[in-house]
Amino acid sequence: MPVKVNSVFPINSMTKAFTGVALVQLVEQGHLSLDEEIGSHLSDLPDSWKSMKIKHLMAHTSGLPNIMSGYQADLIVRGNPEASWQQVKTLPLQFKKNTQFRYNQTGYVITGKIIDKYVEGGFSKFITDNQLITIGMKLTS
């Protein structure tokens, strides 16, 4: 199929760049610091996760268990984000924070929850209003 001006493409993990920018925007607004422990922002985390810093989530050095199943782009509880969130919180850490790199979706689920806490309308609205509209990306959502 030929690409047209209104063709839609999935951006998948490129959303992590938008998430990183959103976190820095919240730093600039005084809501948080990348060096803060995630437990100071979200109380419903397992105790072993609370001392991780936001920067560990962004750098994939948290050691968190992955909310995605294997190499498939699917949640550990297929089609159920809330059940997947509850399930991943019961799993052990993969390694001690900041000792290894392992690509992981769970950290970005948490950063999304942190963003949701501080912005009216939530993560998607914040990205749309503060990034996409600002630079004229009318077809990106």
| The predicted structure's pLDDT at residue 72 | 61
CA distance 101 to 104: 9
Each residue's pLDDT tens digit, 67-104: 988 766 688 888 888 999 999 999 999 999 999 999 98
Q: For residue 62, what pLDDT is reported? A: 96
Q: Which residues pair with 68 in a beta bridge?
A: 75
pLDDT at 1: 78
- Quote the pTM value: 0.85
| CB proximity list for 20: less than 8 A, separation 6 or greater | 58
pLDDT at 126: 87
How confident is the model at residue 15, as a pLDDT? 82
- What are phi and psi for residue 38, nearest 5 degrees? -65, -25
The pLDDT score that the predictor gives to residue 71 is 60
Per-residue pLDDT at 58: 93
Q: What is the pLDDT of residue 130?
A: 87
- The SS3 assignment for 7 reads coil
> What pLDDT tens digit does each residue of the chain (141 aa) get?
798 888 887 777 788 888 999 999 999 999 999 999 999 999 999 999 999 999 999 999 999 999 988 766 688 888 888 999 999 999 999 999 999 999 989 999 999 999 999 888 988 898 888 898 888 887 777
